[in-house]
Amino acid sequence: MSGPSDPDGQGPPRAPRGTRESAAPGLSEEPELSEEPEGAGRPEGAERPEERGTASEAYRVPRQAAASDLSPLSGPHPPEVPRQADAYDAPDVSRRAEAFGASRRPDAPSGRPRPGPPRASEPLDHTVLKSLLGAWALAACSAEETAAVEAHLTDCAPCADEALRLRDAVGLLHSEDSLDLDPELRAQVLEGCLESRPARIPLPVWAAPFDAETARLDALLRDMAGDEWRAPVRLRWFDGRRETDRETTVAGILGHLLAVDGLVAAGLGLPDPLPDGALRVEHDAGPQARTELYWALDRAAPHTPAARRPWREQSHAMIRDVSFLTAAEAEGPEAAGGAADTAGAADTAETSARTRLVSYGGFSLPLPDAFLDRAFECWKHAQDIAEAVDYPYGPPVAAHLTPLVDLAARQLPGALAARRRAGLAPPPRGLAPAGAPGRTLHLEVEGDGGGDWYLPLDSPGARAGPEETVAHVALDSLEFCQLAAGHVPPLEAAAGQDGDRDAIRDVLFAAASLSRM
Amino acid sequence: MQQRLERGEAAALGELYDRFASLVHSLAHRVLDDDEASDHATRDVFAYIWQNPHSFDPREGPMRSWIAALTQRTATSRLRRLQRSDGPCSPEEAERIEEQVRAAATAARADYIVTSMPSSLRAALELAYFQRRDYRQAADTLGVTEDEARRRLRLGLQLLSSAMTRPAMAPPGPRGRR
């Protein structure tokens, strides 16, 4: 294989071109640099001797050759050397280029195996050195090879030319994937678009949190480096009696999300991510059973970034299909009469969507609630992943937090009744017939997405209201979400409490019991 | 995708954003060198696509290249607008801005080259650059010989270097300045 600057690929270096003459002094400096005592003249003293021979320093030399502008480059101060990235004025490239500067991997030289046998005693020939130029430009060869390449560049003009070009090309490498975009920007951009041209097939409002949260998790995954995919991630939930956890990986979490989202996907008529065979064994499997099945099938590739794609494709497909479904229902029978009444049409669509139930194995949720539930799970598991790889990860925007908090609050009376049926909570104090006023707990959630909920304590069907309140619990919305995710033990939740202790205890436990694997 | 956008599917708009937002934002940032201005340019680009999905012609190339070119134009005109609103500027300043625009065009070409090069080359560059593997580790990961890993790194960079229209031996120009 031949480089463009060396078409014959072999043989002695061609005669240096004109400008190379002026390069000679620069090139001859290199050995001197490597012999310099450690830390001399180095800002911050960050460099270690073995890092001297990195491509960026050597890069300086061919650059000089090219630039024939030697004056600012004569001192051994790599940080002052104009780098490729500077020319392109792109912070993300500069950031990347930092990584290639003299201080690249200050912590890593020992982690980088240097198995390279080539010592000075057995010099590498031109062909081998030329083949190393790409690796050299990327600072991806051993210290010995780096030194050999750099020595070679001082007397081989074609290689020095190519080295320069390849080193410049490295400056052009950037990853759009590495860019950390503000998640709020997505909402702003989409909103701006939809104002200028309203969607004919809009997203149902209750699917918007799922849309935003899956996009946010996807952006986090994009930013993750390969080895971060192997980081252990802890799944935590409250099993009714105590906190439980389970260790998995990032890919394991995505498999879990994929398998449980699959309940909703299948309800929309999308293919189930679990094969028929697996489901025949375990009919109507709930979230945990489905996850275990998926993990068992997926054992071959549990740690790889490949887990991202099926999860993302399914979530996109769910958003697409649910939009079509509700759009069709909004245009349903009445649409002929009142097509202009879009708000009315949306209500009709929501009412009709609420009649569609998604089975979770032991229980079911109306389709809109299932989408909120999946958004909540996506957020919480994204948080688990972010924690494991030490990335910051904020809460959903306030507009999306509201329905998520509301879903959890609405589910509390049912969860309390389920705990009683399972013998995990004491029986109700009295019988409250459906519709009759009964003892009430006032749940006050503060902060974004907060509000007041009056929860019937004796029976989910009883009428709850301020005048029947026997207890008051106040807590922050994010703390409430942590509790409902099983990430905070019920008795340790930072909640202001007032009134009937037992009722408060029952409700806090019921909140934690909303969590699942 | 284009049909779905024409049909007015909000879900398609979301997918479009998820696929191209970081491309658009990073290219805009190369031109504008400012977060807020790049956010605005990103909004403009997506609004344009959403309002004019039919203006993309698949016969002229992939959607990604069309969007990259659109971003270049949008960001460049925003830069010039910002520049005009700052009043007359010195020749050095004007030259600096032109250089910024040229550099961004180079970056867009580089992006196109990286996305259209054979995936074997891209994977090798990815390992060496972003994952910071040396070529031996890269060879190991890719299941190829060390010679092959070196070849791929070199060839990948050679392809990439063709994005630079400026000849390698050209005078430094404003490159060395900042």
Mean pLDDT of chain A: 76
Kindly report whether the global pTM for this prediction surpasses the value 0.95: no
Whether residues A32 and A164 share a domain: the answer is yes
Whether residues A317 and A433 share a domain: the answer is no
Instruction: Kindly list the residues from chain B whose CB atom is less than 8 angstroms away from the CB atom of residue A213.
Output: none
Whether residues A405 and A316 share a domain: the answer is no
Domain ranges of chain B: 1-116, 117-165
Least confident interval from A56-70, A200-214, A310-324, A332-346: A56-70
pLDDT of residue A343: 67
Instruction: Kindly list the residues from chain A whose CB atom is less than 8 angstroms away from the CB atom of residue B129.
Output: 96, 138, 170, 173
ipTM above 0.90, yes or no: no
The Cα–Cα gap between A274 and A293 comes to: 8
Last residue of a domain, one of A355, A372, A394: A394
The distance of A81 to chain B (nearest Cα, Å) reads 8
**Residue A323: closest CA among chain B residues belongs to which residue?**
B11
Whether residues A106 and A249 share a domain: the answer is no
pLDDT of residue B7: 94
Determine whether the interchain pair A201/B11 forms a contact, defined as Cβ–Cβ distance below 8 Å.
Answer: yes
Q: How many CB contacts within 8 angstroms connect chain A with chain B?
A: 240
pLDDT tens, residue by residue, A163-213: 999 999 998 886 554 457 888 899 999 999 999 999 999 999 999 999 999
A173 burial level (CB within 10 Å; 0-12, 13-18, 19+): buried
Mean predicted confidence (pLDDT) in B142-165: 92
List CB contacts of A341: < 8 A, sequence separation 6 or more: none
pLDDT-above-90 percentage for chain A? 48
Determine whether the interchain pair A140/B23 forms a contact, defined as Cβ–Cβ distance below 8 Å.
Answer: no
B170 has pLDDT over 50: no
pLDDT tens, residue by residue, B13-32: 999 999 999 889 988 888 88
Mutation target to probe the A interface, by most A beta carbons within 10 A, among B6, B18, B72, B159 is B18
Whether residues A165 and A191 share a domain: the answer is no
Mean predicted confidence (pLDDT) in B102-125: 85
Closest C-alpha to A164, from A80, A94, A76, A62: A62
The domain in which residue A408 lies consists of 399-513
Beta A469-476 vs A440-446: how paired, if at all? Answer: parallel
Q: Is residue A1 part of a domain?
A: no
Mutation target to probe the A interface, by most A beta carbons within 10 A, among B4, B13, B26 is B26
- CB contact, 8 Å: A168 with chain B? yes
Instruction: Kindly list the residues from chain B whose CB atom is less than 8 angstroms away from the CB atom of residue A138.
Output: 125, 128-129, 135, 153, 157
Mean predicted confidence (pLDDT) in B100-127: 85
Closest C-alpha to A410, from A470, A355, A366: A366
Instruction: Kindly list the residues from chain B whose CB atom is less than 8 angstroms away from the CB atom of residue A169.
Output: 110, 157-158, 160-161, 163-164
Mutation target to probe the A interface, by most A beta carbons within 10 A, among B24, B157, B162, B165 is B157
Q: Is residue A328 part of a domain?
A: yes
Q: What angle do CA B92, B93, B94 make, to 5 degrees?
A: 90
A57 has pLDDT over 50: no
Whether residues A284 and A405 share a domain: the answer is no
Residue among B17, B51, B103 minimizing CB distance to A190: B17
Closest C-alpha to A292, from A462, A108, A117, A517: A517
Of A327 and A48, the one with more pLDDT: A327
The distance of B86 to chain A (nearest Cα, Å) reads 20
**Residue B134: closest CA among chain A residues belongs to which residue?**
A140
CATH of the domain at A428: 3.30.1050
Whether residues A124 and A230 share a domain: the answer is no
Whether residues A385 and A306 share a domain: the answer is yes
Residue A69 sits at φ, ψ, to 5 deg, of: -135, 85
Report which residue type is found at A48: R
Whether residues A136 and A227 share a domain: the answer is no
pLDDT tens, residue by residue, B41-76: 999 999 999 999 999 998 888 898 899 889 989 999
Last residue of a domain, one of A151, A174, A197: A174
Residue among A112, A142, A172 minimizing CB distance to B110: A172
Whether residues A157 and A48 share a domain: the answer is yes
pLDDT of residue A301: 57
The Cα–Cα gap between A411 and A398 comes to: 20
Last residue of a domain, one of A343, A375, A394: A394
Per the structure, how many domains does chain A have? 3
List CB contacts of B167: < 8 A, sequence separation 6 or more: none
Whether residues A187 and A155 share a domain: the answer is no
pLDDT of residue A365: 94
Mean predicted confidence (pLDDT) in A225-250: 88
Instruction: Output the six-digit token pair for A368.
Output: 């809109």
- CB contact, 8 Å: A121 with chain B? no
Report which residue type is found at B115: T
Whether residues A324 and A347 share a domain: the answer is yes
pLDDT tens, residue by residue, A16-31: 333 333 333 333 333 3
- CB contact, 8 Å: A132 with chain B? yes
Q: Give domain B1-116's CATH number out of 3.30.479.30, 1.10.1040.10, 1.10.1740.10, 3.30.300.130.
A: 1.10.1740.10
A93 DSSP β-pair partners: none
Determine whether the interchain pair B10/A199 forms a contact, defined as Cβ–Cβ distance below 8 Å.
Answer: yes
Which residues 284-323 on chain A approach chain B with CB closer than 8 angstroms? 316, 319-320, 323
Report which residue type is found at A445: V
A2 has pLDDT over 50: no
A64, A70 contact by CB (below 8 A): yes
